[in-house]
Structure 1
């Protein structure tokens, strides 16, 4: 009897909360755009944030869409908005007839409610505090995800509650209905228990009003610094659904850029294990002074009983140009880079394949800094430089990367094609190719993981790296990443 009464009371409370919030949004619907225009500096930042992660032409579902302004600004190929306020939905459909809007309660949402059932991105912006059962909403959204979907949540930092309440009192903020104030830890926990893996979580925006000189300094610089970052107004989380696809169906293309590596070509093939359902090996030779090209031609001509072998010569210069040529010619589902110096052993590549094929990572980066390595393989100065740049880029990218300079990187071809399509955002800035891929993967919101490798001294030839000159280039790229990613 007591249990029945408790459930009845809980249901009654939830329904009363929901009715109060719905009534509020029906009442303010006509004035919502005017209020948003009054605080357009804040909403413009939300637009920029979502546009950074969501490329035009995506399939987007927005929960709590209001009058549809954010959804329309994302320029989706398929844009669907749901809101439990009929007044909001009617206004949104009138403003943006090319998008789809439905009056639905996210807490009872099911696949039968929408004609579209798979979305690339699901957006919940400023809506979590108005939900009476956040866990149920997140669980209801899971069937609308495919393995590569992204959930993007933005919500206010609870430390701002007194200031935001004061802003309501003086007429600078729209009066709010009853709401929950969730912490970052609350949201991360809710995502994990409902079947999502949080990929990125952080805070942004210290000054919500456009005060000349002060606002740009606070929001572009100070907001991203340690300690001060915890006081930002906007919390955000990017998450993906859990999923373990079959590991048997993916084919692989291994790209081997080679310059002055004639003595390593045959070893690269003989030591390479079979990867996935089929392995394709693509050599890309670049302006060698030894017999590298002739050796590649001999090996390809002889063929291999298990692999498809291909060979190309680059017309441009640098590893980045070689990798892009190889990727453009690749047909495998998964793309791998193996440096021809074989300091990362071909025998380690199955570890990379297992991680990406099982969806335990979406961008797999080799790490040479875990297992012991000889001073001959990596002198102490190089070792500390690698650690410095790894810490720097981990801060800039918002994800932990232990060894940004390891040449072995693995990703799906479908993701690389998206990185290549969005390359204009960063431009052609990277002669190495590593950071072009890392920056692009970060912008796509891919799940970056490290796979430890046993780094070995080379047995043939000499390094093609000019350490001091390329160290300066890396510093320049740190500044570049600061502007394009961290402080954009």
Structure 2
């Protein structure tokens, strides 16, 4: 039965191959939105494999570093080669892929899962072509639109379709789970798939992204990470400690910090302190030189964000840690973060202070309320669950940080905190963001550098910025 279905679909696309361009022109607005979504999800220069590549236009629109399209219709492959001679296209059955030793950064299945005879087998076939950073991007129609799309076919506004699978988001997530992939992001878009002047763009950019309304959108997408392992060797680590007016915590940080990975580098960045923090750092670096690999710097710019970015550029470890010098996040908890990232159970590890009980001295009730509010808002804006966006302890791979830094042209220099530059960049790169609960401690030395009202206004500005650049783009 599966073979006959596959044959039926193959014959259909052989027949419509050379009329595809006419249908694409008729539904140009829809196809332009698909291209825009894929360009948002897939960074330029990536190595991309597209399953069900059709005439190759979508693959060509991505600006791939290297692009390979697979289609089981010989006519479609011939058309794609003619239209895009700079890309590679092969006529193969996705259930029986033979691509040699190639590995890809992104594997794209745009509108193709509805035509696959065995989705599970195809997802399994993709595994040998994944490395430990590969993302699988799946775009598919919302089954609520089935009757509308059927009507579109009958009145000649949509290309005729063969019998197809109508999968829900839950169905696709389940298929990814049983084949070993981990979903890192999902979303919906396109409430109005035809251009209506002054109406379509506004509805699709703003109204379509609202809670509940988004469930009515035509296009659904899921981004999943492959189960490929990072490797057996323990990675090295760099612990970044930004310090401003924290002289009483410097030695305690070095005393309490555990060894991490194959090598632990400690980087202090002193930020224009009004006390003797820099002198204490210099002395402590001498005292603990036999125990730690310590590097010390005075911050050239201003603000924690600038200090973190400066230190990350100096770091040599495979994994980058941020440890606030106030030690409200216990240094003893850093091995928990290391185990999660080294095991591949997460790629961007964010601390969460809001799970375990904490004293009012460590976090007053108004701060707790604000943190929970902003956590909920950013979870919605980033399409990834976050409980505590403001915890200073964050851990990521240095290779991923370099990609975040390279992609800063998209966001610009917007973040004085440093937290959101990293979070937004990780969300844009489709990294798997996970949270590690920590027991938040009161300060034992010094006073907080936070100006609550001013920084509350800055956080609201961050929400608006995330909305514009990530949610409502």
Question: What interval of TM-score do these two structures reach, taking the shorter chain for normalisation?
Answer: over 0.9
> Residue in 1 aligned with 2:234?
249
> Residue in 2 aligned with 1:197?
182
Are the aligned partners of 1:246 and 1:358 in contact in 2 as well (CA < 8 Å)? no
> Residue in 1 aligned with 2:50?
62
Distance (Å, rounded) in 1 between the aligned partners of 2:209 and 2:87: 35
Residue 91 of structure 2 is aligned to residue 103 of structure 1:
yes
Task: State which of 63, 82, 91 in structure 2 corresponds to 1:94.
Answer: 82
Are the aligned partners of 1:247 and 1:358 in contact in 2 as well (CA < 8 Å)? no
Q: Offset at 1:287?
A: 0.7
Superposed CA deviations along residues 344-375 of structure 1, whole A, max 9, x for unmatched, are 11001000000000010000000000111111
2:34 partner SS: helix
TM-score by length of 1: 0.95
The equivalences for 1:52-201 within 5 A come to: 52-109=40-97, 113-115=98-100, 117-201=102-186
Distance (Å, rounded) in 2 between the aligned partners of 1:465 and 1:248: 40
Aligned-residue RMSD, C-alpha? 1.1
Distance (Å, rounded) in 2 between the aligned partners of 1:114 and 1:90: 18
Worse-matched range after superposition: 88-97 or 386-395: 88-97
Q: Which stretches in structure 2 are left out of the alignment for 5+ residues?
A: none
Q: Offset at 1:246?
A: 4.8
2:161 partner SS: coil
Q: Offset at 1:115?
A: 4.4
Moved over 6 A (4+): none
> Residue in 1 aligned with 2:30?
42
Residue 249 of structure 2 is aligned to residue 264 of structure 1:
yes
Distance (Å, rounded) in 2 between the aligned partners of 1:218 and 1:116: 45
Are the aligned partners of 1:253 and 1:332 in contact in 2 as well (CA < 8 Å)? yes
Q: Offset at 1:235?
A: 1.0
Task: State which of 218, 229, 234 in structure 1 corresponds to 2:203.
Answer: 218
Task: State which of 292, 304, 321 in structure 2 corresponds to 1:307.
Answer: 292
> Residue in 2 aligned with 1:480?
465
Q: Which stretches in structure 1 are left out of the alignment for 5+ residues?
A: 1-12
Distance (Å, rounded) in 1 between the aligned partners of 2:181 and 2:69: 21
> Residue in 1 aligned with 2:379?
394
TM-score by length of 2: 0.98
Task: State which of 384, 391, 413 in structure 2 corresponds to 1:428.
Answer: 413
Distance (Å, rounded) in 1 between the aligned partners of 2:209 and 2:372: 21
Distance (Å, rounded) in 2 between the aligned partners of 1:299 and 1:33: 69
Q: Offset at 1:436?
A: 0.5
Number of matched pairs = 473
Are the aligned partners of 1:247 and 1:276 in contact in 2 as well (CA < 8 Å)? no
Q: Offset at 1:243?
A: 4.1
2:275 partner SS: coil
The equivalences for 1:253-402 within 5 A come to: 253-402=238-387
Superposed CA deviations along residues 296-353 of structure 1, whole A, max 9, x for unmatched, are 1111123433421001111210001000010000000000000001111100100000
